[in-house]
Amino acid sequence: MGSIDSLYDRVKRYLAGFFTGEGSTDAITGYSSGELQMAVFLLVLAAMFRVFMIPLGIVLILVTSIMIVYFAPIIRTVDRENSSDLNRVLFWVIIYFSIILAVTLWGR
Amino acid sequence: MSEPVTNLWSVPLLVMIPIFTAIIVNFLYNRTRAIRFISIGAALAVFAIAVVSPYGLHWFAGHPAVNADGTYTFTASIFSWKLSLEYYYGPLQQILIALMSLLLLFVVVIATKSLSKNYGPYIAIVFLTYVSAAAILMANDFYNLWIAVELGSLLVAGLVASSGTSYAQKAALKYTFFSALAGSGLAISLGLILGITGYVNITDAITFLMTNDLGGMYAVLYVAFAFLALAWIYAGGLIPVHPLKSDVYRSAFPHATVLLQTQSKLMLVAIGIVLLRMFGPLPFAREVMLSISVLTMIIGIVMALIQTDFRWILAYIIVSHSGLVTVGLSLGTYQGVVGGLFQAVNDIVYMSILLLCCEMLLYFGKGTSIKFNGGIAKKSPWLAAFVILGAFAASGIPPFNGFQSELIIIQAALAEGLPEVAAVVLMVSISTFIALFRAIYSIFLKPGDPSPAGQPEAKGFTMPPTVFLFLSVLLAISFVLGVYPQLALGFLTESALKVVFVPWVP
């Protein structure tokens, strides 16, 4: 009983995620296209790790697929994180800057 | 053998004519006819200078260079240490500055027609924005680069705030706040490079790095790279600063956004080339640039897909296509750099078409929301034709220019063994089409509200002849570059060759 409810709730939440909140549109086309675009992009990104090791690429594609299904709809998160709020932008700038520094120094 | 010119006449004119124009029109304030006459004349003058100018260097303040044996020289040589601030005007600078001058002319004509007050200060900011972009592109020393980026950031804020809405002023304030961070980043990078090489001239600094072993000081060079990359991200509006930049693009008048996006592309190209020349051989430097570019492309286009206002859609597409420019540059190969530079030229052209169409929607008083529009194609078929053809060019559909540069970038990515990057470029191209045509259908092609019973059908909208002419010129450029890309590639290949094979040559 519980598992059926949980599945129903999850599907309902998934569909409602496209419509509710502070979405920029009431039409599903943009959000569903964006969702697909993000999902494909994340899979492509995971596939890029084949450059280091092919098994690593395969594992990452599988892990990414599971995470996409689990965390969907991703587009809502992307939309939220895309705010021009100064604190949020500053936070991401610091994260990016740290990664750039870490990667280049590590590459040395 | 002819010596390179070190006192090229055109360089100071390209910088000083817009500055003097800005000062004069600022004093003239609201004298419409005088401002219009002077600003159009100045825009035509800089366009003519950019087109006819020969190539060469200009050393400001007349300082000579020092040879290896301690003697002085006024002729340019890569093995002499330059004491002066150095500007270089070559084929890349020529095509980009000539294109920007043409757009400056269009922007000035539209601005002096459409604004109702404060002409002078507004036109002054427009001209100074032009100067900042031209200076960034020509500078061959970190000091001038830093000053031009700082000035450019403040002018972007001024241009956006001039649109007068509270939203625009908020966007300008946020952008200015970040300029403190990115400008400081560039200054720190300058300081670190000066500290380890002893030179601010880019050619001299690269020559020093190639002829000396930095030993343990290499770590400092990586930190300098990170700070310069931060300035690049900020100036070009790449991820994660893109929300601020897209706010800037959508808050300014669309005609001002034409100049803003051109300035951004020029900054991306100029700083991107410096990053490649100076830090290209460092491990992971190009990979970092490529990651930022790919993320910018994807996040930009995904955000464009979910917007419901044509201005917002265009703002995010500009951001996304900035990533397309930098992907080419970041690949670091000859073909990639050519593709990136060509994409910058094309992007400036087709986004200007779309932005001017957006300006016309505001001129017709219809707004740019895709929710409350429709039927514009019936009332203004020419505008609909321009926007559809502009969207084709932006989506990389032949025979327009976007197709050629995207093809080169895709081929460059495949040649580098990165089919994933090629796939992302294709995804962006297709999504650009979806995002634009979603808006074009709602605003232009969908039937509008029928006239109330008993009332005559609403009259059609007539485009001003000047805007019709500007759109025709831009569309013609887009078509010609699509059919005959060698016309632009002839200006870009030399720069790409230098960046990849002889990075110390400006």
Cβ <8 Å between B299 and A82: yes
- Write the CB contacts of B147 (distance below 8 Å, at least 6 apart in sequence): B135
Least confident of B121-130, B204-213, B445-454: B445-454
Residue for token pair 């004069």: B24
Q: Does B420 sit within 8 Å of A44, measured CB to CB?
A: yes
Q: How many CB atoms lie within 10 A of CB A37?
A: 24
Let me know if B399 is exposed, middle or buried by CB neighbors in 10 A (0-12, 13-18, 19+).
middle
Q: Does A70 touch chain B (CB under 8 A)?
A: no
Residue B459: DSSP 8-state:
P
Those of residues 427-486 in B touching chain A at CB distance below 8 A are 427, 431, 434-435, 438
Instruction: Considering only residues B281 and B342, tell me which one the structure prediction assigns the higher pLDDT.
Output: B342
Mean pLDDT of chain A: 79
Tell me what pLDDT residue B283 has: 80
Q: What pLDDT was estimated at residue B483?
A: 95
Asked if residue A20 has pLDDT above 70, the reply is: no
B371 backbone dihedrals φ, ψ, rounded to 5°: -85, -35
pLDDT at B75 over 80: no
Instruction: Please determine, for residue B61, whether its predicted confidence score (pLDDT) is greater than 60.
Output: yes
Q: How far is A1 from chain B (nearest CA, A)?
A: 37
CA B327/CA B286 separation, integer angstroms: 10
Q: Does B223 touch chain A (CB under 8 A)?
A: yes
Q: Do A30 and B420 touch (CB under 8 A)?
A: no
| Phi, psi of B81, rounded to the nearest 5 degrees | -90, 120
Quick one: pLDDT band at residue B156, thresholds 50, 70, 90? very high
Position B195: which residue type?
G
DSSP letter at B139 equals B
pLDDT for the residue numbered A24:
47
B177 and A86 within 8 Å at the Cβ level: the answer is yes
Return the closest-CA partner of residue B209 out of B197, B226, B198, B191.
B197
Question: A31 to chain B: nearest residue by CA?
Answer: B306
Put simply, the answer to whether B303 touches A79 (Cβ < 8 Å) is yes
pLDDT digits (tens, 9 = 90+) for B189-226: 999 999 998 888 898 899 888 888 888 888 888 899 99
- Nearest-angstrom CA–CA distance, B387 and B364: 15
Which of helix, strand or coil describes residue A34? helix
**Is B283 part of the contact surface with chain A (CB cutoff 8 Å)?**
yes
Q: Please, which pLDDT band fits residue B78 given cuts at 50, 70 and 90?
A: low
Tell me how crowded residue B299 is: count the other CB atoms within 10 A of its CB: 25
Task: List the one residue out of B401, B438, B435 whose CA is nearest residue B301.
Answer: B435
Q: What pLDDT digit, counting tens, does each position of B236-280 carry?
A: 899 889 999 999 999 999 999 999 999 999 999 999 999 999 998
Q: Which of residues 4-23 of A touch B (CB under 8 A)?
A: 23
- Quote the CA–CA distance of B179 and B166 in Å, as a whole number: 20
CB B337 within 8 A of CB B496: yes
3-state secondary structure of B21: helix
**Does the pLDDT of residue A108 top 80, yes or no?**
no
Q: In this structure, are residues B458 and B375 in contact, taking their beta carbons and an 8 Å threshold?
A: no
Nearest to A43 by CA among A69, A23, A21: A69
Cα gap B141→A80, rounded to integer Å: 40
B313 backbone dihedrals φ, ψ, rounded to 5°: -60, -45
Q: Does A57 touch chain B (CB under 8 A)?
A: no
pTM for the complete prediction? 0.91
Helices (H), B280-418: 285-305, 310-331, 334-363, 376-379, 381-394, 401-415
Phi, psi torsion values for B168, nearest 5 degrees: -65, -40
- pLDDT value for B458: 57
Share of chain A above pLDDT 90, in %: 6
Residue B336 in contact with residue B412, Cβ under 8 Å?
Answer: yes
Confidence bin at A1 (pLDDT 50/70/90): very low
Q: Considering only CB atoms, which chain A residues are within 8 Å of B423?
A: 44
Instruction: Supply angle C-alpha B268, B272, B277, rounded to 5.
Output: 160
> What confidence score (pLDDT) does residue B85 get?
82
CB B260 within 8 A of CB B249: yes
Is B438 in contact with A104 (Cβ distance < 8 A)?
no
Quick check: A105 and B219 CB within 8 A?
yes
Residue B293, number of CB atoms within 10 A of its CB? 28
Nearest CB partner across the interface for B219, out of A48, A78, A108: A108
CB B277 within 8 A of CB B499: yes
A contacts of B317 (beta carbons < 8 Å): none
Residues 225-244 of B with CB under 8 A from A: 225-226, 229-230, 233, 239-244
What pLDDT is stored for residue B505 in this prediction? 82
CA–CA separation, B224 and A96 (whole Å): 15
CB of B495 closer than 8 Å to CB of B341: yes
| Res B369: pLDDT | 84
Give the nearest chain A residue to B285 (CA atoms): A104
Confidence of residue A23 (pLDDT cuts 50, 70, 90): very low
User: Could you tell me which residue, B267 or B449, shows the higher pLDDT?
Assistant: B267
Long-range contacts of B411-419 (CB under 8 A, 24+ apart): B411/B335, B411/B339, B412/B328, B412/B331, B412/B333, B412/B335, B412/B336, B412/B338, B412/B339, B413/B327, B413/B331, B413/B336, B415/B333, B415/B335, B416/B331, B416/B333, B416/B336, B418/A48, B418/B331
Q: What is the pLDDT of residues B397-431, one digit of tens each?
A: 999 999 999 999 999 999 998 999 999 999 999 99
The answer to whether A48 contacts chain B (CB < 8 Å) is yes
Q: Which amino acid belongs to residue B206?
A: I
Position with higher pLDDT, B446 vs B156: B156
Query: Hey, what amino acid is at A33?
Result: S
Summarised one tens digit per residue, pLDDT across range B129-145 is: 999 999 999 999 898 89
Pairwise CA distance, residues B83 & B66, whole Å: 8
In whole numbers, what is the pLDDT of chain B averaged over residues?
A: 89
A84 touches chain B (CB under 8 A): yes
User: Could you tell me the two tokens for B243?
Assistant: 């929300």
Q: Is B378 exposed, middle or buried (0-12, 13-18, 19+ CB in 10 A)?
A: middle
The CA angle A90-B323-B162, to the nearest 5 degrees, is: 60
CA distance B432 to chain A (A): 11
Q: Which helix (H) or strand (E) holds A3?
A: helix A2-19
pLDDT (0 to 100) of residue B107: 94
Residues B46, B15 contacting (CB under 8 angstroms): no
* Confidence band, pLDDT 50/70/90 cuts, at residue B5: low
- By DSSP bridging, strand B56-60 and strand B65-66 are unpaired
pLDDT tops 90 at residue B15: yes
DSSP string across B145-208: HHHHHHHHHHHHHHHHHTT--HHHHHHHHHHHHHHHHHHHHHHHHHHHHHHHHS--BHHHHHHH
When pLDDT is averaged across residues A86-98 and rounded to a whole number, the result is: 89
- Is B426 part of the contact surface with chain A (CB cutoff 8 Å)? no
What ranges make up the beta strands (E) of B64-128? Answer: 65-66, 72-73, 81-82, 85-89
Most confident of B54-68, B280-294, B362-376: B280-294
Q: Which chain A residue lies closest to B297 (C-alpha atoms)?
A: A41
Q: How many CB pairs under 8 A join A and B?
A: 120
| Secondary structure E strands in B242-286 | none
Nearest Cβ partner for B222 among A38, A84, A105: A105
Per-residue pLDDT at B491 exceeds 90: yes
C-alpha distance from residue B442 to each of A95, B90, B430, B445 (Å): 39, 44, 19, 6
* CB proximity B188 to A under 8 Å: no
What is the percent of chain B with per-residue pLDDT over 70, rounded to a whole number? 96
